[in-house]
Chain A
């Protein structure tokens, strides 16, 4: 062993074996695992509550839709969360994409900068305020829109409404979710589109491509991963949103509203938890809500992990 090598190793160990450094490293490392501990804690503690519920209710807890002691099933809520998310995605994804196309490719820099700030401000509005706005401002307007949709497009199954009651519909709830998703999705898509290399855009222009051709064959394929990831981050937010939906959606267990999006009544797991918590009559009902929370957590965790993997694979994005 040469003397330089030993010397170097001595120096290296001297640098890391300083006692203060070791203590410091340990404290920091311990703190860094808070996130893991919390995630594991949520999984274990909520999962622990879900087990007895699944034992007493069986798989019916997930496959039936009823909230009538002693039978409980949250299928309608699980499906409702999905339906609301789909409505929100249908409204929010094209809007966000077009909004970011406007900001990146069409608007002058100064306008784009102002719009970026406004979109960020939109993301900062607390959901309880959006819920308040949805209840008093959006709902009355939305009821008119839905009546018109029913009047002119009622022959399409999703726009059927037999009750004539257009309040508390999945449409309004999905709409407010879309408004919460738009800033989240836009901030990702704007950045993804903005990072299309100018050489590629210039090359497309030089070849005589129209803007649509450039978007279709250069910008969108280039940022595909980031775009999908951004949409899924928005979806994660929509699945977990509670309060805004609470104000505008009428929770109905039976019958499950499968596709009549402008018919009063629908479901959402997150909203179920809040709306039933106040009237929970005993430890068992609280346990049911904790179990519902467990499945909500698993669903959002899955969506978020996939979204982050996709976004990370296409390069890190600031959020």
Chain B
């Protein structure tokens, strides 16, 4: 009658799923009462002051509510757990405070973009260009169609350049595995820190000031490619690492050459991941403004030729309309911000969906 525990796979799997114990997470009824009191009392005092006193609101929140809440939490912690957990209470209150602060900022940004941007949205705004439009023109006329075309053109050119190069860099690191792997990885990391304005200056001095290129979509695409490449390379590297080695050895054993293993087995196996890498690269650059100001300038007309003329894109359209003394121009800037943010949100959701799909397999 011995109670032997059999460590079969199921039990081991179950045990390894267990979360670490968190004694600070115990809940007793006394604990609950004290915590509720510690939350309600400062909140009540501050609500009273909020309505019935002349103290400026930011001062009230920062120099009265926050200290009050911390003191209340410390007292509650001492009452429940003893003096040792007093600092814990301070950390918990500040951690929740930091989280709320970040969320408030995020929500404020998204809320302003949506509410102010919606005022600008109309068919004309999305499809017309800015020709014959001045900052004082009323909202019903003109739009950012030319800037959307510009963004698509510039980002498309940079993706055509950076995605293959980035994927090839990743293939070098994970498949070819040459002697220079640590160096290549180091340079890619260093490249991811190149400020966007420096990428613009580089294209400006090497290609535009020397007369090789105009300020155009192609020049801007090259500057974007510099920023896009490291993101693509690092994501593609992570993804290629997930391809099981059995696929490689199996293909080699069947007699295929290394090049064929990579091109016909490894890369197709990581197809979704490659698309994720490309999308992340696009999302990284789509809102960059500084390189465009140096390499693409602006243009009120719709430009389709990537080599001929300066060109506007969504970020430069926003840039031109900010700080104009005309309310309609400012609304246009918010409308363009909403368009750009929707674009970013679509890319963001796509990467999430693709990676969820990959993990689900």
* Contact among B85, B105, B193, B286 for A240, CB-based, below 8 A: B193
Expressed in whole angstroms, the minimum distance between the Cβ of A210 and any Cβ of chain B is: 5
A135 to B191, CA, bound (A): 30
Determine whether the beta carbon of B109 is less than 8 Å from that of A31: no
Determine whether the beta carbon of B226 is less than 8 Å from that of A136: no
Determine whether the beta carbon of B197 is less than 8 Å from that of A32: no
A95 to B103, CA, bound (A): 12
* Contact among A20, A106, A308 for B95, CB-based, below 8 A: A106
A101 to B87, CA, bound (A): 14
Mark the stretch among A58-66, A70-78, A249-257, A285-293 that contacts chain B.
A285-293
Whether A212 sits at the interface, judged by CB under 8 Å, is yes
With A102-B98, A106-B92, A135-B323 known to touch, is A242 a contact of B196 (CB < 8 Å)? yes
Whether B33 sits at the interface, judged by CB under 8 Å, is no
Determine whether the beta carbon of B206 is less than 8 Å from that of A45: yes
Specify which chain A residues have a CB less than 8 angstroms from the CB of B262 in the assembled complex. 24
Specify which chain A residues have a CB less than 8 angstroms from the CB of B97 in the assembled complex. 98
Specify which chain A residues have a CB less than 8 angstroms from the CB of B204 in the assembled complex. 286, 290
Instruction: Tell me the residues in window 177-223 of chain A with beta carbons closer than 8 Å to chain B beta carbons.
Output: 179, 182, 186, 198, 201-202, 205, 210-212, 215
* Contact among B88, B101, B172, B340 for A28, CB-based, below 8 A: B172
A305 to B191, CA, bound (A): 9
With A137-B112, A243-B289 known to touch, is A35 a contact of B233 (CB < 8 Å)? yes
Determine whether the beta carbon of B23 is less than 8 Å from that of A205: yes
Determine whether the beta carbon of A270 is less than 8 Å from that of B197: yes
Determine whether the beta carbon of A273 is less than 8 Å from that of B88: no
With A39-B191, A98-B91, A131-B322 known to touch, is A28 a contact of B176 (CB < 8 Å)? yes
With A31-B172, A32-B169 known to touch, is A296 a contact of B20 (CB < 8 Å)? no
Specify which chain B residues have a CB less than 8 angstroms from the CB of A126 in the assembled complex. 286-289, 315, 340-341, 344
Determine whether the beta carbon of A35 is less than 8 Å from that of B190: yes
Determine whether the beta carbon of B168 is less than 8 Å from that of A28: yes
Determine whether the beta carbon of B20 is less than 8 Å from that of A286: no
Kindly state the interface size class of chain A when it binds its partner: 35 or more
Expressed in whole angstroms, the minimum distance between the Cβ of A298 and any Cβ of chain B is: 10
Specify which chain A residues have a CB less than 8 angstroms from the CB of B101 in the assembled complex. 95
* Contact among B85, B190, B345 for A304, CB-based, below 8 A: B190
Instruction: Tell me the residues in window 64-109 of chain B with beta carbons closer than 8 Å to chain A beta carbons.
Output: 84-85, 87-88, 91-92, 94-99, 101-103, 105-106, 108-109
* Contact among B21, B88, B112, B209 for A210, CB-based, below 8 A: B88
Determine whether the beta carbon of B98 is less than 8 Å from that of A152: no
A105 to B222, CA, bound (A): 44
Determine whether the beta carbon of B287 is less than 8 Å from that of A129: yes
Expressed in whole angstroms, the minimum distance between the Cβ of A106 and any Cβ of chain B is: 6
Most buried by B among A129, A202, A283: A129
Expressed in whole angstroms, the minimum distance between the Cβ of B295 and any Cβ of chain A is: 11
A233 to B230, CA, bound (A): 14
Whether A314 sits at the interface, judged by CB under 8 Å, is no
Determine whether the beta carbon of A242 is less than 8 Å from that of B197: yes
Specify which chain B residues have a CB less than 8 angstroms from the CB of A119 in the assembled complex. 102
Expressed in whole angstroms, the minimum distance between the Cβ of A269 and any Cβ of chain B is: 9
Please count the residue pairs between chain A and chain B whose beta carbons lie under 8 angstroms apart in the complex.
285
Expressed in whole angstroms, the minimum distance between the Cβ of B238 and any Cβ of chain A is: 6
* Contact among B24, B257, B289 for A21, CB-based, below 8 A: B257
Mark the stretch among B3-11, B43-51, B268-276, B330-338 that contacts chain A.
B330-338
With A29-B176, A35-B229, A274-B293 known to touch, is A212 a contact of B198 (CB < 8 Å)? no
A236 to B198, CA, bound (A): 13
With A99-B98, A290-B201 known to touch, is A319 a contact of B234 (CB < 8 Å)? yes
* Contact among B106, B180, B191 for A122, CB-based, below 8 A: B106
With A126-B315, A243-B319 known to touch, is A133 a contact of B112 (CB < 8 Å)? yes
Expressed in whole angstroms, the minimum distance between the Cβ of B277 and any Cβ of chain A is: 12
Determine whether the beta carbon of B20 is less than 8 Å from that of A202: yes
Instruction: Tell me the residues in window 272-319 of chain A with beta carbons closer than 8 Å to chain B beta carbons.
Output: 273-274, 277-278, 283, 286, 289-290, 293, 296-297, 300-301, 303-305, 307-308, 312, 318-319
Expressed in whole angstroms, the minimum distance between the Cβ of B316 and any Cβ of chain A is: 9
A106 to B73, CA, bound (A): 15
Determine whether the beta carbon of A121 is less than 8 Å from that of B348: yes
Determine whether the beta carbon of B189 is less than 8 Å from that of A308: yes
B interface footprint on A95-115 (CB within 8 Å = 1, 0 otherwise): 110110111011000000001
Specify which chain B residues have a CB less than 8 angstroms from the CB of A308 in the assembled complex. 186, 189-190, 193
With A35-B169, A95-B102, A129-B113 known to touch, is A297 a contact of B176 (CB < 8 Å)? no
A226 to B225, CA, bound (A): 29
With A144-B58, A274-B197 known to touch, is A29 a contact of B178 (CB < 8 Å)? yes
Subset of 17 A-B contacts with CB under 8 Å: A21-B258, A39-B194, A42-B202, A94-B94, A96-B98, A103-B99, A122-B105, A125-B109, A127-B288, A132-B333, A133-B113, A136-B116, A211-B92, A240-B193, A240-B197, A270-B290, A286-B204
The 3 A-B residue pairs with the shortest CB-CB distance in the complex, in nearest-first order: A126-B287, A240-B195, A304-B193
Interface residues, chain B, with chain A CB atoms under 8 Å away? 19-24, 56, 58-59, 63, 84-85, 87-88, 91-92, 94-99, 101-103, 105-106, 108-109, 112-113, 116, 164-165, 168-169, 171-173, 175-176, 178, 180, 183-184, 186-198, 201-202, 204-206, 209, 226, 229-230, 233-234, 238, 257-260, 262-263, 283, 286-290, 293-294, 315, 318-319, 322-323, 330, 333-334, 337, 340-341, 344-345, 347-348, 352
